[in-house]
Amino acid sequence: MKILFFKEGKKMLSKGKKIFILVSMVVLLVVTGYLNVALNKNDNEEQTTTTSANFFTTCRADKISSRNYQIEIYDSIIKTSKDQEEIKKATEKKAEIAAKIESEMVLEGLIAATGYEDVIVTSTDNVMNVFVKTASGLTGDEVAKILSIITNQAKVLATNVKITSIG
């Protein structure tokens, strides 16, 4: 059985033509890269006006994606591991993530209930970050109210809470 990849008798491309095609492809690739950088630069300048609107959406999506990825890793360990100690640790870490998610949601709800359009709370170890959407920034009283909610509900020190106003 004979398999033909090219028509018999048809001349192959000459070495010069092959080089010309290869160089043309490289030039097209370089031009495409340059246009991509140039056009993205213009897009970035236009997008600075909508940063605050997109910040909350992006941050929330990133937080959810990150947590889901962590949970998937621990689920994988639980399903595939034969070491009971490793399974136990993975189960505990998964429960910690679930508790952190619930705590952050409660805090976001409590802060939003005081009259803010959008709120995101993130926590790492003993540090809490609070992002609040406000048109005119936060007053000292507003910061104190948010700080009170966080310290009372999450049982963290006030020095470990960072509150940021996003306008």
CB 165 within 8 A of CB 137: yes
pLDDT of residue 106: 94
- Asked if pLDDT for residue 9 goes beyond 60, the answer is no
* Residues 97-118, mean pLDDT to the nearest whole number: 92
pLDDT of residue 37: 79
Confidence of residue 111 (pLDDT cuts 50, 70, 90): very high
pLDDT of residue 26: 73
User: Residue 145: which H helix or E strand, with range?
Assistant: helix 140-154
pLDDT of residue 49: 41
* Residues 150-167, mean pLDDT to the nearest whole number: 90
| pLDDT tens-digit map of 17-59 | 777 777 777 777 777 777 787 777 755 555 544 566 688 889 8
* Mean of pLDDT over the chain: 82
pLDDT of residue 25: 75
CB 91 within 8 A of CB 74: yes
More confident position, 18 or 99: 99
* Domains identified in the chain and CATH numbers: 53-166 (1.10.287.4300)
Does pTM top 0.85 for this prediction?
no
More confident position, 37 or 95: 95
pLDDT of residue 48: 42
More confident position, 19 or 78: 78
| pLDDT tens-digit map of 118-137 | 999 998 877 899 999 988 88
